[in-house]
Amino acid sequence: MNGLISSAPSQAAIRLTVSGFLLMQIQSALLLLSPSLDHDSGTLIWILTPLAVSAFVAALIGIPEPPEGHWRQRHGR
């Protein structure tokens, strides 16, 4: 997968970026709707924040894709 820094980013990188930003927006909305931050909300925020950051970092760097024909090989023939 080509990352966002490359000249031709792949669709997976763009999808990861969008999903990361959506997770950050969900986290912000939960904070805005909560009059006081209790323990359960704080736990949810601490779970969503690393997921959003890791999706953005994976989109920037790029994840290696498997070879094109790796699933076509049959074993034992």
Q: Per the structure, how many domains does the chain have?
A: 1
> Residue 74: pLDDT above 70?
no
Helices within the chain (DSSP H only): 11-33, 39-61
Q: What is the pLDDT of residues 53-72, one digit of tens each?
A: 888 888 778 777 766 766 66
pLDDT at residue number 29? 80
Q: Does 44 reside within a domain?
A: yes
Convert the pLDDT of each residue in 3-30 to its tens digit.
888 888 888 888 888 888 888 888 888 8
The answer, as to whether pTM is greater than 0.85, is no
Give 44-52 contacts, CB < 8 A, sequence gap 24+: 48/23, 48/24, 49/24, 51/20, 51/23, 52/20, 52/21, 52/23, 52/24, 52/27
Q: Is residue 9 part of a domain?
A: no
Tens digits of residue pLDDT in 26-53: 888 888 777 787 888 778 878 888 888 8
Nearest-angstrom CA–CA distance, 51 and 67: 27
What is the residue range of 48's domain? 25-60
Cβ atoms < 10 Å from Cβ of 19: 15
